[in-house]
Amino acid sequence: MTRLTPLAEADLSGYLDRLVRDYAADHVRGGRWTEEESLTEARKEVDKLLPDGLASPDQFLFAIVAGEPEAKVGELWLALEPRGGFVYDLFVDERYRRRGYAEGAMRLAEGIARQKGARTLSLHVFGDNAGARRLYARLGYRETNVRMSKSLEP
Ligand SMILES: CC(C)(COP(=O)(O)OP(=O)(O)OC[C@H]1O[C@@H](n2cnc3c(N)ncnc32)[C@H](O)[C@@H]1OP(=O)(O)O)[C@@H](O)C(=O)NCCC(=O)NCCS
């Protein structure tokens, strides 16, 4: 069984370090930021969303807990915005992948978002993240916009 529990204060800074690193690397690959500026820019965006850490309004950070015996296997960050629910991050530790934990966590997040009044749940995924795209397609998410890019380097 998969459960979502509020992320512990003690886990927040390690979690955000990992998130910022991954987010920065994704946007360097995507061409939005240079390597040099990426960590600072990523941290700025995250800090803006979480001005009061775990107590920030409309931001819900969860640990994904699953397995037998139970362990913390990853994290999910759900936000409630005027446009509806938005999943800012979904992460399952490598050693726990392909066991259905992300799928379970997303289904729970859908229930929580619905309970809080959201009528839609959305997220962003990079085009080359085939595994995550397959997961979301399987859960019923549909593409709402597609940004395309081509390298002009020789
Ligand atoms: C994407 C991620 C959250 C998936 O977590 P997971 O717990 O391994 O996913 P699940 O076991 O719930 O996968 C459910 C289904 O999604 C699809 N899927 C998930 N990961 C996949 C992969 N690497 N390749 C292909 N399909 C994949 C499969 O259909 C899978 O079902 P199956 O294992 O029966 O084939 C995890 O790989 C991860 O944390 N990746 C790094 C962070 C990331 O990319 N997050 C998403 C950002 S939008």
DSSP letters of 37-88? HHHHHHHHHHHHH-TTGGG-TTEEEEEEEETTTTEEEEEEEEEEETTEEEEE
Dist. CA 126–CA 29, nearest whole Å: 10
Alpha-carbon span 34 to 7, nearest angstrom:
31
Angle between helices 9-29 and 35-49 (to 10 degrees): 140
Which ligand 1 atom lies nearest to the CA of residue 89? 47
| Start-to-end C-alpha separation, the chain | 51
Instruction: Starting at the earlier edge strand, list the strands of the sheet with 121-123.
Output: 2-6, 59-66, 71-81, 84-92, 121-123
pLDDT of residue 149: 84
Q: Domain map of the chain by residue range?
A: 2-139
pLDDT by position in tens, the chain (length 154)? 999 999 999 999 999 999 999 999 999 988 889 999 999 999 999 999 999 999 999 999 999 999 999 999 999 999 999 999 999 999 999 999 999 999 999 999 999 999 999 999 999 999 999 999 999 999 999 999 998 888 898 8
**Cα(135) to centroid(ligand 1), Å:** 6
Q: How far is the CA of 153 from the centre of ligand 1 (A)?
A: 32
Q: Is the peptide bond before 57 cis (omega within 30 degrees of 0)?
A: no
- Whether residue 11 contacts residue 91, with contact meaning beta carbons closer than 8 Å, is answered with no
What's the pLDDT at 150? 87
- Distances 116 to 33, 87, 92, 131 between C-alpha atoms, Å: 34, 14, 24, 29
CA of 107 to the centre of ligand 1 (A): 14
What confidence score (pLDDT) does residue 139 get? 98
**pTM, 2 dp:** 0.95
Quote the pLDDT of residue 153: 86
Q: In Å, how far are 69, 107, 133 from 121, measured between CA atoms?
A: 31, 11, 15
Q: Looking at domain 2-139, which CATH architecture does it have?
A: 3-Layer(aba) Sandwich (3.40)
